[in-house]
Chain A
Amino acid sequence: GAGVSQSPRYKVAKRGQDVALRCDPISGHVSLFWYQQALGQGPEFLTYFQNEAQLDKSGLPSDRFFAERPEGSVSTLKIQRTQQEDSAVYLCASSSEVPGQLRETQYFGPGTRLLVL
Chain B
Amino acid sequence: RKEVEQDPGPFNVPEGATVAFNCTYSNSASQSFFWYRQDCRKEPKLLMSVYSSGNEDGRFTAQLNRASQYISLLIRDSKLSDSATYLCVVNGRVYGGSQGNLIFGKGTKLSVKP
Chain A residues in the interface with B (C-beta under 8 A): 31, 33, 35, 40-45, 48, 50, 55-56, 58-59, 91, 93, 95, 99, 101-106, 108-111
Contact = CB atoms under 8 A, between A and B. Distances in A.
Contacts of B46: 105-106
A42 B43 contact: no
A53 B97 CA distance: 15
Given A48-B98, A111-B43, A42 B49 contact: no
B106 A33 contact: no
Nearest to A43: B104
Contacts of A42: 4, 87, 89, 104-107
Contact of A99 (B42, B43, B100): B100
Given A41-B106, A42-B87, A42-B104, A99 B99 contact: yes
Dominant secondary structure at the B interface: loop
A81 B25 CA distance: 35
Contacts of B110: none
A58 B106 CA distance: 20
Contacts, number: 65
The size bracket of the interface on B is 20 to 34
Dominant secondary structure at the A interface: loop
Given A91-B44, A109-B43, A43 B102 contact: yes
Interface of B: 4, 31-32, 42-46, 49, 87, 89, 91-92, 96-107
A33 to B, nearest CB: 6
Contacts of A56: 97-99, 101
A102 B102 contact: no
Given A33-B102, A102-B91, A105-B46, 12 more contacts: A31-B99, A42-B107, A45-B97, A48-B97, A48-B98, A56-B98, A58-B98, A59-B101, A103-B32, A106-B102, A108-B43, A111-B43
B98 A55 contact: yes
A95 B100 CA distance: 10
B52 to A, nearest CB: 12
